[in-house]
Amino acid sequence: MVLQDKYAPNTNSAFEHYQAEHRLSIADTSAYWGEKAVTELDWFQGFDSVQQGGFLHGDVAWFVNGKLNTCYNCLDRWIEGRGDQTAILWEGDEPTDTKAITYRECLRKVCQISNALKAQGVKKGDCVTIYMPMMPEVSMVMLACARIGAYHSVIFAGFSADAIADRIEASGSKWVVTADEGLRGGKKLPLKAICDQAMAKDACRGVVEKCFVFARTSKTVNMETGRDVEFDSLVAAQRPYCPCEPMDSEDTLFILYTSGSTGKPKGVLHTVGGYSLYAKVTMKNSFDLKEDGSDVYACVADAGWITGHTYIVYGPLLNGTTTFMFESTPMYPDHGRYWDMVERHKINIFYTAPTAIRSLMRFGDDAPNKYDLSSLRILGTVGEPINPEAWRWYYEVIGRSNCAVADTYWQTETGGHVIANLPGAVPMKPGSCTLPCYGIDTVVLDPATGKELEGNCVEGVLAIKQPWPGMTRTCLGDHERYLTVYMKPYPGYYFPGDGCRRDEDGYIWITGRVDDVLNVSGHRIGTAEVESALVAHPAVSQAAVIGFPHEIKGEGIACYCTLTVGVEESDSLSKELKTAVRTAIGPFATPDLIIPTASLPMTRSGKIMRRVLRKIAAGESDQLGDVSTLADPTVVQVLIDKVEALQ
Ligand code: WT7
């Protein structure tokens, strides 16, 4: 655990130590983060003030006028002393396909990529779209953008051409970096072809100037003259040093699109200074990293999500540790893959999502028991509340009851963990993310009045009372939306959109989203996005999408669809509608249930009663509650029968 001497309390108890340090960190957040910024990051020029602005006006800024470069802090700073240490330990789709890239090698290649991007016209302040498989180059391109002051917009390689086109249009990104194909679980993903489709759409016309293509499988792909560039040879021809652009602390490091309650994804924006500091400090604390960088740390998420940004790329490298990158799936070639990797690479810290734990747990204990998992020290979980059963399996079978389980609550917008147990210091409770991180001032609000609920044993919505360095500063091109979604619901507080309970010990239990956002296998999907994909199909006149409890995914997607007059329901139509959603968003958003219906339960004022739809999909039709305000109560039984027939 990392503790500062000056805060050392007069006790040996690590928990009391945490409590004391946390109290101090929120009593004066500027003092706390100001000192961290100086000790944890290298600056080209010091900052004038630690923090200014606030939630109320949405004008938060950290480390004002300070100049630094995130890539410098990730790579250059470690060359002396850790140059020969592995920075990226990569394992490809096949277990035999591995690569260890040292800090020195990584810096050289990142410099070459930086020079290649510059040679092609990429400039400071440009947005670079990255649509890549989990090859080491994805991290390197992110770092190269940071080095030259361009900001990246990574799109998870499971998104469809439509989704890519929307994001390219919204960000005005002139540059796209991709690969010929991806490789996952023995299957090939035609990434360049999907990019081609995206770039051919009206939304992208005239936007994209260049598309840089790495070879992953070396398949021959369409290369449009003047636009597409074979990137490996161009990169190899570059000088292996590129100076770092001195960035203002508040310059943009990256944007990342995420779903909200409207159909349009938000470009969540993170900054150079604040995000980097927050990624570094939370990484070090939550995973109890060794200062000398000797840990082998594995986060098996994808770089395309915030978890990958903060805890595969930036957090580990800012701490000079070895970060493991995984291209494949937990099921390939069999469901022992994770544990095989832990044994072979002697992984000390392993970070995954409850959905993966649940799906592996189904196969029993034989697979994990076959492997030597004694290198493990800390097991992290993220993405959704972990059910106590999965927590226990993770703790007992994977951790041999000998590892700390770190339940890390956070979101794309928070940049890094905001509630998590400090391993070894904060006692664990299966299913609770426990207590706030340093510098995070959490409160529980009464959702109706917005008043803080004092004391323990209370339930309401979660909010954060003071700015922290890693928080998002705006939604790209739509600051009003940023204010509306996060700052206005409870003026003076940041509102993450989650409900929670504070138990008798002051521990936080997240109860789930309180907005129209689904959490499917830890992926955030807006119900409105799915609905607009469905109503875009000529057979659907109205759609209501809701989540229902799903054993593996946490939440499944149920789509109630009112069909256009004259259209008959059929299995093939249901399939078509599922495909429509996959095409609009991506395969990870595929609906679990399509429920065609003649009508939906509406109130007399014409509002769909989602509460009723949720109960029906959850198989809890005996708990529908008051349905007396429905315009036509008979539709309820029709839907109950339909859902029963489907399940
Ligand atoms: C939403 C954020 C943060 C990376 C992964 C998802 C839920 C996340 C936990 C947790 C309970 C969690 C929340 C949050 N969530 N972690 N440990 N316990 N709920 O990032 O796509 O931005 O989604 O995921 O509902 O708001 P995201």
Q: Name the one residue in this structure whose structure tokens are 């100001």.
A: 34
The response to whether residue 412 sits with its C-beta less than 6 Å from ligand 1 reads yes
Is pLDDT of 11 > 90?
no
The response to whether residue 496 sits with its C-beta less than 6 Å from ligand 1 reads yes
Is pLDDT of 451 > 90?
yes
Instruction: Kindly report the pTM of this predicted structure.
Output: 0.95
Q: To test the ligand 1 pocket, which listed residue (259, 302, 408, 409) has its Cβ within 8 A of the most ligand atoms?
A: 409
Q: What's the rounded mean pLDDT across residues 473-491? A: 98
d(CA 606, CA 422): 49
Q: Name the one residue in this structure whose structure tokens are 């809890």.
A: 620
Q: What would the two tokens of residue 153 be?
A: 């917009």
Is pLDDT of 385 > 60?
yes
What's the pLDDT at 532?
A: 94
Q: Which atom of ligand 1 is nearest to the CA of 524?
A: 21
d(CA 212, CA 198): 15
- Note the pLDDT tens digit of each residue in 180-233: 999 999 999 999 999 999 999 999 989 999 999 999 999 999 999 999 999 999
Q: What angle do CA 535, 536, 541 make, to 5 degrees?
A: 35
Which protein residue has the closest C-alpha to ligand 1 atom 5? 383
Is pLDDT of 480 > 50?
yes
Which protein residue has the closest C-alpha to ligand 1 atom 7? 384
The response to whether residue 307 sits with its C-beta less than 6 Å from ligand 1 reads yes
Give the pLDDT band (50/70/90) at residue 258: very high
Q: In the predicted model, what is the mean pLDDT of the chain?
A: 95
Give the pLDDT band (50/70/90) at residue 606: confident
- Note the pLDDT tens digit of each residue in 35-71: 999 999 999 999 999 999 999 999 999 999 999 999 9
% of the chain exceeding 70 in pLDDT: 98
Which protein residue has the closest C-alpha to ligand 1 atom 14? 411
Q: Name the one residue in this structure whose structure tokens are 């000056």.
A: 6
Is pLDDT of 522 > 80?
yes
Q: Which atom of ligand 1 is nearest to the CA of 523?
A: 21
Give which of 7, 12, 15, 6 is closest to 435, Cα–Cα: 15
* Residue 218 CB coordination number (10 Å): 9
Q: To test the ligand 1 pocket, which listed residue (275, 411, 437) has its Cβ within 8 A of the most ligand atoms?
A: 411
- Note the pLDDT tens digit of each residue in 107-154: 999 999 999 999 999 999 999 999 999 999 999 999 999 999 999 999
d(CA 269, CA 609): 34
Tell me which long-range contacts 16-24 makes (C-beta under 8 A, separation of at least 24): 17/425, 18/422, 18/425, 18/426, 18/435, 21/438, 22/435, 22/436, 22/438
Which protein residue has the closest C-alpha to ligand 1 atom 17? 409
- C-alpha of residue 428 to centroid of ligand 1, in Å: 19
Give which of 244, 271, 307 is closest to 107, Cα–Cα: 244
Give the pLDDT band (50/70/90) at residue 628: confident
What's the pLDDT at 551?
A: 94
Q: Which atom of ligand 1 is nearest to the CA of 420?
A: 17
The response to whether residue 411 sits with its C-beta less than 6 Å from ligand 1 reads yes
Q: To test the ligand 1 pocket, which listed residue (357, 382, 494, 513) has its Cβ within 8 A of the most ligand atoms?
A: 382
Give which of 572, 490, 582, 479 is closest to 530, Cα–Cα: 582
Q: Name the one residue in this structure whose structure tokens are 């290198």.
A: 375
- C-alpha of residue 353 to centroid of ligand 1, in Å: 10
What's the pLDDT at 625?
A: 86
The response to whether residue 383 sits with its C-beta less than 6 Å from ligand 1 reads yes
Q: How many residues does the chain have?
A: 647
What's the pLDDT at 12?
A: 57
Q: What's the rounded mean pLDDT across residues 419-429? A: 95
Which protein residue has the closest C-alpha to ligand 1 atom 13? 384
What's the pLDDT at 633?
A: 87
The response to whether residue 524 sits with its C-beta less than 6 Å from ligand 1 reads yes
The response to whether residue 309 sits with its C-beta less than 6 Å from ligand 1 reads no
The response to whether residue 497 sits with its C-beta less than 6 Å from ligand 1 reads yes
- Note the pLDDT tens digit of each residue in 537-551: 999 999 999 999 999
Give the pLDDT band (50/70/90) at residue 604: confident
What does residue 444 show for φ and ψ, rounded to 5 degrees?
A: -110, 130
What's the pLDDT at 618?
A: 94
The response to whether residue 355 sits with its C-beta less than 6 Å from ligand 1 reads no
- Note the pLDDT tens digit of each residue in 144-181: 999 999 999 999 999 999 999 999 999 999 999 999 99
- What are the b/e assignments for 312-329, b being 16+ CB within 10 Å? bbbbbbbbbbbbbbbbbb
The response to whether residue 306 sits with its C-beta less than 6 Å from ligand 1 reads yes
d(CA 191, CA 93): 16
Q: Tell me the three-class secondary structure of 124-189, residue by residue.
A: CCCEEEEECCCCHHHHHHHHHHHHHCCEEEECCCCCCHHHHHHHHHHHCCCEEEEECCEEECCEEE
The response to whether residue 525 sits with its C-beta less than 6 Å from ligand 1 reads no
Q: Tell me, what's the ipTM?
A: 0.99
What's the pLDDT at 3?
A: 33
